[in-house]
Structure 1
Amino acid sequence: MTVTVRYYAAARAAAGVETEAVEVPPGATVDILLKTVGATHGNDFGRVLGRCSFLLDEVAVRDRELSLHDGALLDVLPPFAGG
């Protein structure tokens, strides 16, 4: 199945892309998806990913064992600063 991943700010810079379609097996979880993109983009991206929060179809992810569905959208949000 295909999941769209959107990266913001430092996550986008580390991944080198703004958005990508990622193929994962049926029954995949958010954790599996994150491991897949982490392996694709390397160590610097992995460090950024470790500090990020996530939205799955615009809902905050509290449990990385949450199952994905075909056509899902995962937003990768690094910590933001400012005021």
Structure 2
Amino acid sequence: KDTHKRYFELSAEVFAEALLEHQRLKQVAIAEKNRAKVTKGLPDVVAIMEDKSLCLTCYIDGDPAPEIFWLHNDR
């Protein structure tokens, strides 16, 4: 596997801007890695019987632990 390197002489201002952008991208990557994930979701098909209760279970993982909200008809 070939390795290619390139070196640049950067002014202090350009270096500071590049460093800030690197830090921003690193934070975005960390946030993406740690964002909440559905580890076991709802089934594709659910049989619903009139006048019976329905239990829905969803497993979520994330760091920090995500807040969970269940909505019915967008409320």
Interval of TM-score (by shorter of Structure 1 and Structure 2):
under 0.3
- Which structure has the greater CA radius of gyration? 2
TM-score scaled by structure 1?
A: 0.24
Normalising to structure 2: TM-score of the pair? Answer: 0.25
Structure with greater proportional strand content: 1
Which of 1 and 2 has higher RCO (CA within 8 Å, sep 6+)? 1
